[in-house]
Amino acid sequence: MAMINRILDILNLIIAFVAMVLFSQMAASLFCRITGFHFGWGALFLGILGLSLYFVNAYLIIRFIKKNAPGVVELDAVYGKPMNDGEYLWEKTAGTGTVPKWVTWIGFASYACFVGAIMWLIVVL
């Protein structure tokens, strides 16, 4: 039963990622239609949107770790190297609820924008 749940979770993530790629391409199409730019500019729009979402995600992750686990980021900055098991101290907060899931979905959407930009370039060019 656990294996079936794991497979269903993976399928759910794949379907969500494909939906985000499609939504990002719809946003690029709408951007080109509203601005009147050539469709080639849609890939640039998706790239900029993806970068923006990526940096917002990184900022929010650091903010929530500093808020909910004070001192962890500062200790990693002081030591600079991973611990003996190869992980940084801030990586130990994964799965503990320190960072809300919606922040993770923002990062997930940034990767979907990058994939959408590549697909946009393949289709347009």
- Summarised one tens digit per residue, pLDDT across range 5-19 is 999 999 999 999 999
What is d(CA 76, CA 73) in angstroms, rounded to the nearest whole number?
A: 5
- Ordered by start, the domain boundaries in the chain are 2-124
- The mean per-residue pLDDT over the stretch 21-41 comes to 93
Reported as a single tens digit per residue, the pLDDT across 67-108 is 887 777 777 777 767 767 777 777 777 777 788 889 989 999
CA angle 104, 109, 111 (to 5 degrees): 100
How many other CB atoms are found less than 10 A from the CB of residue 110? 21
> Which tokens sit at 13?
């993530």
What DSSP character marks residue 90? G
Dihedral class, residue 44 (left if φ above 0, else alpha if ψ from -120 to 50, else beta) = alpha
Q: What is the mean pLDDT of the chain?
A: 87
Q: What is the pLDDT of residue 83?
A: 66
Q: What is the residue-wise DSSP string for 23-44?
A: HHHHHHHHHHHHH---TTHHHH
What is d(CA 61, CA 71) in angstroms, rounded to the nearest whole number?
A: 14
Question: pTM, whole model, 2 decimals?
Answer: 0.82
